Amino acid sequence: MTRHMTGAQIVIQALKDQGVDTIFGYPGGAVLPIYDELFQQNDIRHILVRHEQAATHAAEGYARSTGKPGCVIVTSGPGATNAVTGLTDALMDSIPMVVLSGQVPTFMIGNDAFQEADTVGITRPCTKHNWLVKDTADLATTIHQAFHVATHGRPGPVLVDIPKDVQFATAAYLPPEKARVSHYQPKTKADPEAILAAVEAIERAERPVFYTGGGIVNSGTAACAALRDLVGATGFPITSTLMGLGAYPASGEAWIGMLGMHGSYEANWAMHDCDVMICLGARFDDRITGRTDAFSPHSYRIHVDIDPSSINKNIHVHVPIVADVGSAIEDILALWRERGARTNAGPVQKWWKQIALWREKDCFGFRRSDQVIKPQYALQRLEALTKGHDRYITTEVGQHQMWAAQYLGFEEPNRWMTSGGLGTMGYGFPASIGVQIAHPESLVINVAGEASWLMNMQEMGTATQFRLPVKQFILNNERLGMVRQWQELLHGERYSASWSESLPDFVKLAESFGWKGIRCDSPADLDAAIREMIEHPGPVLFDCLVEKHENCFPMIPSGKAHNEMLLGEDATQGAIGAAGAVLV
């Protein structure tokens, strides 16, 4: 028997049937009927944020740390436009997210009504797909399809725009199993010929490297387990992008560190000199490749990606494999074992010796100080003191983000939430809220810079209201550190608008929201202060005053190749040429 409901009831029922337990949002005129239904039920918990952008980042943090899609509700007009940054962020980092937006009534669309915006038009390029629902009879099916599209193939954000009259009108509710199945069914199983080519390359490789990315984390824990099997069985070195950290444990024997612009010296040289590159769920982003015409010039490249448009987009590959990366790794492993589990052990051992030589450069070394806290030292201590904990890390964007990636070790997937593709300052704090909601008992730390953190600081109220003990670990250099670094290297040390003036007193700010505030400016006091932060049962704002002019190294300057990486000491003006200066 079909049940008739109002549009608002259909929304809530569809969310329940899709397994949604938490929704991040902010009410407004065009979503009042939905909020009225939210009020009258207890299965879905609504988290009231202080700005819609934070709702989207919190949903990203929730999604990234659980593997489930994040869910957001915003009102029409400004509610929807405020969600655009989070939608774009999720699109770039392939995070499954469903955003429901209110819209003015259908008969007013196009009239420049109060709080009207062309939401589907604005969000078309920053969603995987979006819908404007003009008939309540289509509402249930559309929401079910939205979840299907967000979570199938390459995950991504979707948006369903629901006019207010559609929320009031009644129609029959269609449960997910009765809803029309979308034709959207991306291919997930690899071609056997491509798997064979990959296995043959693994068997004959002399200088192999696994280059892995966020796709493995997105594929799930089975993919991470399969990756660990494959790396363990072959003994090949493995590096990862920023997004893929934790898929393979940082303590693993084959781990050679993150690659890319601020990756490890050994990982980048291994990428440059390898003869077989096995790219699993990564997309040859420009932060990874550096100068593309000098990228890994002698390698035979295998690329597994669920999105065919990622293949040959930036870098030509020899063996394209369109598949779910977990399934492809399992296929590779099975065929390789069936053929005798052979590797070219002698040359691979020699390759490891070469990697050990690169490692001797100690690229993450830094000049220590007992006067001021070096940001690297702060993260080393944070790592040492939180390592044994059930820990989740989020970050903002900038130098602190790169240092966090360099100095914190991730043993498990879904423990590291950062804005990679879009590089959204202001991501980390709301993301930490989303993570803490999903993991109330865990230690959730947002490693932040003071400038990024201020971009979404209004969320302090959210953390207080929902009793979320998030730890905000701010490396405060009173600078926009990464901007300052580029101005030093590229723009003649003219520091245009790159310092943080008029900062708040973070301790007082914390106390005004009922948080604990900790300030630390001495290396000698740092351990005790970090312990105090961890042990405090509520939210903590940790103002860690660090060296103001520290640069983030190693670094591949723009327009340079992997083997032209700068270690700290080499950094001088003129390292980046005129051609590199136009790049971001």
Partner 1 sequence: MNALHIKKGASSHSAYDLRNPLGDQRETHTLCVLVDNEAGVLARVIGLFSGRGYNIESLTVAETDHLGHRSRITIVTTGTPAVIEQIKAQLSRLVPVHQVNDLTVEGPAVSRELALIKVAGTGERRVEAMRLAEVFRAKVVDTTLESFVFELTGAPTKVDAFIELMRPLGVVEVARTGVAAIARGGFAPD
Q: Which residues are catalytic?
A: 52, 114-115, 164, 482
Q: Is 292 in the site for partner 1 (CB under 8 A)?
A: yes
Minimal CA–CA distance to 406: which of 518, 260, 279, 547? 260
Burial class (CB in 10 A: 0-12, 13-18, 19+), 113: middle
Q: Which helix (H) or strand (E) holds 386?
A: helix 375-386
- CA end-to-end span of the chain: 58
Q: Output 153 or 246, the one with its CB closest to partner 1.
A: 153
Q: Output 81 or 182, the one with its CB closest to partner 1.
A: 182
Residue of 80, 120, 276, 541 that binds partner 1 (CB under 8 A): 120
Q: Is 125 in the site for partner 1 (CB under 8 A)?
A: yes
Residue of 51, 57, 129, 562 that binds partner 1 (CB under 8 A): 129
Q: Is 149 in the site for partner 1 (CB under 8 A)?
A: yes
Q: Which helix (H) or strand (E) holds 518?
A: strand 516-520
Q: Give the nearest distance from C-beta 74 to partner 1 in angstroms.
A: 20
Sketch the per residue contact string, 233 through 262, with partner 1: x for CB under 8 A, - otherwise. ------------------------------
E strand intervals along 295-397: 300-305, 319-322, 391-395
Rounded alpha-carbon distances, angstroms, from residue 388 to 48, 125, 447? 32, 42, 18
Which amino acid type is present at position 418? T
Q: Is 578 in the site for partner 1 (CB under 8 A)?
A: no
Q: Is 110 in the site for partner 1 (CB under 8 A)?
A: no
Sketch the per residue contact string, 14 through 33, with partner 1: x for CB under 8 A, - otherwise. --------------------
Q: Are 434 and 59 in contact (CB under 8 A)?
A: yes
Q: Which residues pair with 551 in a beta bridge?
A: none
Q: Which residues pair with 70 in a beta bridge?
A: 97
Q: Are 100 and 26 in contact (CB under 8 A)?
A: no
Q: How many CB atoms lie within 10 A of CB 297?
A: 11
Q: Is 183 in the site for partner 1 (CB under 8 A)?
A: yes
Q: Are 57 and 456 in contact (CB under 8 A)?
A: yes
In order, the DSSP letters of 224-269 are HHHHHHHHHHH---EEE-GGGTTSS-TTSTTEEEE-STTS-HHHHH
* Total residues at interface with partner 1 (CB under 8 A): 30
Minimal CA–CA distance to 159: which of 142, 140, 176? 142
Residue of 21, 36, 191, 307 that binds partner 1 (CB under 8 A): 307
Q: Output 125 or 175, the one with its CB closest to partner 1.
A: 125
Q: Output 307 or 527, the one with its CB closest to partner 1.
A: 307
Q: Is 38 in the site for partner 1 (CB under 8 A)?
A: no
Residue of 262, 291, 374, 391 that binds partner 1 (CB under 8 A): 291
Q: Are 130 and 120 in contact (CB under 8 A)?
A: yes
Q: Is 389 in the site for partner 1 (CB under 8 A)?
A: no
Residue of 67, 232, 559, 568 that binds partner 1 (CB under 8 A): 559
Site for partner 1 in 267-286 (CB under 8 A): 286
Minimal CA–CA distance to 472: which of 526, 432, 501? 432
Sketch the per residue contact string, 309 through 348, with partner 1: x for CB under 8 A, - otherwise. x-xxxx-x--------------------------------
Q: Give the nearest distance from C-beta 292 to partner 1 in angstroms.
A: 5
Binding site for partner 1 (CB under 8 A): 120-121, 124-125, 128-129, 132, 149, 153-154, 182-184, 186, 286, 291-293, 307-309, 311-314, 316, 559, 579, 583-584
